[in-house]
Amino acid sequence: MNNFINIFEMSPRDGLQNEKNFIATNDKIKFINKLSLCGFRKIETSSFVSARWVPQLADASEVFMGIKRNENVKYTALTPNEIGLDNALKVNVDEIAVFAAASETFSIKNINCDIESSILRFEPVINKALKNKIPVRGYISCVAHCPYEGNVDPKIVSQIAEKLVNMGCYEVSLGDTTGKGSPDHTLKILEECLNVLTPDKLAGHFHDTFKNALKNIEVCIDNGIKTFDSSVGGLGGCPYSPGAEGNVDTEKVNQLLLLKGYQTNLDIQKINECSKIALKLKKDGTYD
């Protein structure tokens, strides 16, 4: 399937982690079960980070134990450290992700250490996951712009991406956390990354704060990228990036890709139903 593009659904993690309301565990489970019927190959289900950092996702283990797994879906989670990984392994997470930032200040505020030490800290996590045959994805946040430092040098992004792949990540998702990346800037980032990595090692993760996300996705497609992260209903944002809006809306990405003649294998009707639930979760914090 040469014209297949993979949409990686982020809403239960990237979406819900930034909602003010704590969504009841059972409502999260219902939401993820519903998402499981849309045709996604992967759903980022939760995050095994300290409950002190992300109280919204403190129930990651309960969520993983409660969901009805669709055998065609891989259920993934963020695991920043070995404790998180151990907890993830206990509940049979299919795939994990580690995350670094491309800006020093953001890294210190978000992950509590500089870029270099954050990457070093992933080493035992990645090694242990791979030993357990769990694929590891890497995220880089603030690839275009940092809320504290402004524009980010694309060279730094490509250096981190290359390191993450060399450490064992099967793919690195380039996150425009603030949504300020223009198509021109995105192209520069891609050019740097494609100097050191092939397009199948890269994915696009765009927030839609300034309505650049779809244009940036088109730039990525033109450069051979075939995986994009999105959230139904455009849920969420980033708690450490003030004012940042949610991930680009899954429905919009799907529509764009279909218009351009790509296959995504998603059920448009079911995604639409999930978007409505997402908006309900956002509005009053409940599923029904």
**Contact 19/276 with Cβ under 8 angstroms?**
no
Contact 138, 164 (CB under 8 A): yes
Task: Give φ, ψ of 24 to 5 degrees.
Answer: -60, 145
Residue in 38, 142, 220, 238 annotated catalytic: 238
Q: Which phi-psi region, left, alpha or beta, contains residue 285 (left: φ > 0; alpha: ψ -120 to 50)?
A: left
Residue 216: CB minimum distance to Zn ion, A: 13
In terms of CB distance, is 14 or 251 closer to Zn ion?
14
Name the residue nearer to Zn ion (CB basis): 2 or 101.
101
**Please, which residue, 110 or 264, has the CB nearer to Zn ion?**
110
Q: What are the Cα distances from residue 262, in Å, to 11, 39, 109, 198, 266?
A: 22, 15, 39, 20, 11
Tell me how long the chain is. 288
How far is 272 from 262, CA to CA, in rounded Å?
Answer: 19
- Residue (39 or 204) nearer to Zn ion, CB: 204
Distance CA 75, CA 135 (A): 11
> Are the CB atoms for 126 and 168 separated by under 8 Å?
yes
The distance of closest approach from Cβ of residue 14 to Zn ion in the complex, given in angstroms and rounded to an integer, is 4
Nearer to Zn ion, 14 or 59 (CB): 14
Q: Which residue is nearest to Zn ion (CB)?
A: 14
Q: How far is the CB of 130 from Zn ion (least distance, A)?
A: 24
CB within 8 Å of 165: residues ≥ 6 apart: 138, 172, 197, 201
Q: Among residues 8 and 122, whose Cβ is nearest to Zn ion?
A: 8
**Minimum CB separation from Zn ion for residue 247, in Å?**
5
Kindly list the residues in this chain that would bind Zn ion in the complex (CB under 5 A): 14
Q: Which of 74, 122, 70, 119 lies closest to 94, judged by CA? A: 74
Task: Look at residues 89, 41, 31, 36 and name the one whose alpha carbon lies nearest to residue 61.
Answer: 89
Residue closest to 106 by CA, chosen among 187, 15, 179, 178: 178
Is residue 238 among the annotated active site residues? Answer: yes
CB of 40 to Zn ion, least distance (A): 16
Q: Tell the smallest beta-carbon distance from residue 206 to Zn ion (Å).
A: 8
**Active site residue ranges:** 238
